[in-house]
Amino acid sequence: MSQYTVAELVAEFLEKCDVDTAFGIVSVHNIPMLDGVARRGKIRFVMTRGEMGAGHMADAYARVTRKLGVVFTSTGPGAANAASALVEAGFASSPVLHITGQSMTKHIGRGRGAVHDVPDQLGMLKSISKTAYRIGTPDQALSILKRAVADALSAPRGPVSIEIPIDVQKSVIDRPAELDALVLPITALRIASAAEMDRLVALVSQAKRPMLWLGNGARDAASAATKLLDLGFGLVTSWAGRGIVPDDHPMSIGGLNGTGAPLVEAFYDTVDLLLVVGSRLRGHETMDATARLPKNIIQIDIDPLANDRTYKNQAFVCAEAGSTLEALASKVKGKISIDPKFASEFKAMKVAAFEEFRQTLGPYASFPDQVRNAMPRDAIWVRDITLNNSTWGNKLFPLYDGRSSAYPIGAAIGPGLSLGIGAAVGANGRKTVAMVGDGGFFLNVGELWTAVQEKVDLVVLVMNDGGYGVIQHIQDATCEGRRNYYDLLGPDLKQLAALAGIPFMQVSVASTLGATLSKALTHKGVTLIEVTMNSIGEFPPYFPYSKK
């Protein structure tokens, strides 16, 4: 029997952390660790075509499972290739563990030109990760592994990187007995004090027309948030917070959070309290904090840096969302007196605002309903940054639970296919639909073969307009209509699907989208649908690029 090494410790440690899936590429500087994973046979390793795709897959897997996402890369260029994925995982507060190799210890930082050696790899990893560590000696291995995973899983969650030199991976050690009863030093979530709750209750009890704004940090607060809605609160969410309370709740407008929705912004003028929970009030959704939100804002967030980060608040409670909202709902019950007209006015606004926004979509106005009606209620909705997602995908398409959504929060074009694959791997029987643009799809098209090899159940919905459609809108608004560098030559998608050995369907008439998607969803495995947007019609410019 082979001797126990640091590499095998890594594999066993991940198992003890309930990791059952990892993503990545095998390479010269991670072979010992992945050999350990393979020999132990308890972790599924998804072989990707690039480190960027692997990182996005681990991120989406973490989002839909609420578990630790794990990605293995090679060192140097391989680790650098994962950078954009780690940045996105940071935007999403996804607990992702990035494990990379490193040159032999004796070569690190000495400029000898060792294979894959780059100056200050650890510094690069620190700049794109929540924290980053190097296991410099075999006896540090378990303690640093524990610290890294605890960092990833402690609020606010985020991506953490570890580099392990190849000679350290191969080092023989005694198996740590601590693995038999492993305890991770995860930082306990802060609970609001009695004094903080008393002040919060006093402020909230004065409201007559209150609303909640739920962000990604409130993802575990669904039950408590629903109790506040039952007391008469209205609800709006960030795009990352969608589905925490089902979007079809009559007192929720979901992700139609104001920007480009005049009726919503006008309604905010009548709201006397906006309770913002676990949200950055991101610039992408508030037009860099220029959206007209209610003036009386109270924030609840586990991160003390959230205080006054975007909009000025009147009070701030640094505490875990679920327990704080649960206590608040219990304590304000019977004390708060909601305007009797508020609920009916909110519901009327919801109907009118959704219809007003739908009318801005031109020939695509039926798409939200067609796609939603075709998908099972528990299906996972993954999107790339596309014209369709930046409009109806984020704002009108209803979601019904907080683990049914993944999109590039950092607004990058290209992660959609990889996010869809990672979500499908973690879907546990649920259907997954990934809507991507042709520009984003072609950026990572090689990962289509990852999906095929792994036999994931995924529909890839390619909204093909022959280029970067949103760039056209921005250039029209900022360059006096001069359009440059937006058109793309891409492969014939029917031939591409044939090459991959997967079913292909095409939509060139808007009214057929739903039926086509329904048919695709009956197939077990990967299916490719192309929506030929140039046949359907030009996509109207959306706010703020729409013509005045």
Q: Are residues 13 and 117 in the same domain?
A: yes
Q: Which of 325, 353, 381 is the last residue of a domain?
A: 353
Q: Are residues 199 and 344 in the same domain?
A: yes
> Is residue 381 assigned to a domain?
yes
**69-73 and 380-383 strand pairing:** unpaired
Mean pLDDT of 51-68: 98
Q: Are residues 175 and 64 in the same domain?
A: yes
> Is residue 277 assigned to a domain?
yes
In 10 A of CB 297, how many CB atoms? 20
> Is residue 526 assigned to a domain?
yes
> Is residue 1 assigned to a domain?
no
Mean pLDDT of 438-447: 95
Q: Are residues 48 and 165 in the same domain?
A: yes
* Residue 98 token pair: 């990035």
Q: What is the CATH number of the domain that holds 498?
A: 3.40.50.970
Mind listing the pLDDT tens digit for each residue in 482-518? 988 888 889 999 999 999 999 999 999 999 999 999 9
* Residue 87 token pair: 């940045």
Backbone phi, psi, residue 49, to 5°: -95, -15
pTM of the model: 0.96
> Is residue 295 assigned to a domain?
yes
Mind listing the pLDDT tens digit for each residue in 322-342? 999 999 999 999 999 999 999
Q: Are residues 147 and 198 in the same domain?
A: no
Mind listing the pLDDT tens digit for each residue in 63-89? 999 999 999 999 999 999 999 999 999
Mean pLDDT of 49-71: 98
> Is residue 542 assigned to a domain?
no
> Is residue 48 assigned to a domain?
yes
- Name 97's bridge partners: 70, 160
The DSSP symbol for 492 reads: -
> Is residue 188 assigned to a domain?
no
Number of domains the chain contains: 3
Measure Cα distances from 505 to 25, 145, 453 in Å.
31, 46, 20
Contacts of 486 (CB under 8 A, 6+ apart): 467, 468, 469, 471, 472, 475
> Which segment of 215-219, 340-344, 538-542 scores lowest on mean pLDDT?
538-542
Q: Are residues 499 and 406 in the same domain?
A: yes
Q: Which of 125, 147, 181 is the last residue of a domain?
A: 181
Q: Are residues 487 and 433 in the same domain?
A: yes
> How far is Cα 338 from Cα 535, in angstroms, rounded to an integer?
50
* Residue 441 token pair: 């799809």
pLDDT the model gives residue 356: 97
Which residue has 């040159």 as its token pair? 103
Contacts of 177 (CB under 8 A, 6+ apart): none
Which residue has 């007003």 as its token pair? 356
Q: Are residues 220 and 151 in the same domain?
A: no
Q: Are residues 44 and 140 in the same domain?
A: yes
In 10 A of CB 252, how many CB atoms? 28
pLDDT the model gives residue 106: 85
Q: What is the CATH number of the domain that holds 265?
A: 3.40.50.1220
Measure Cα distances from 440 to 96, 138, 232, 397, 463 in Å.
23, 42, 42, 21, 10
Cis peptide bond upstream of 340, omega within 30:
no
- Tell me the DSSP string of 154-170: SSSP--EEEEEEHHHHT
Q: Are residues 371 and 507 in the same domain?
A: yes
Q: Are residues 144 and 207 in the same domain?
A: no
pLDDT the model gives residue 1: 47
Look up the domain containing 95 and give its range: 6-181
> pLDDT band at residue 547, thresholds of 50, 70 and 90?
low
Residue 352 CA, chain-centre distance (Å), reads 29
> How far is Cα 483 from Cα 359, in angstroms, rounded to an integer?
26
In 10 A of CB 491, how many CB atoms? 11
Which residue has 């959306």 as its token pair? 542
Residue type, 163: E
Q: Are residues 412 and 518 in the same domain?
A: yes
> Which segment of 274-278, 433-437, 458-462, 473-477 scores lowest on mean pLDDT?
473-477
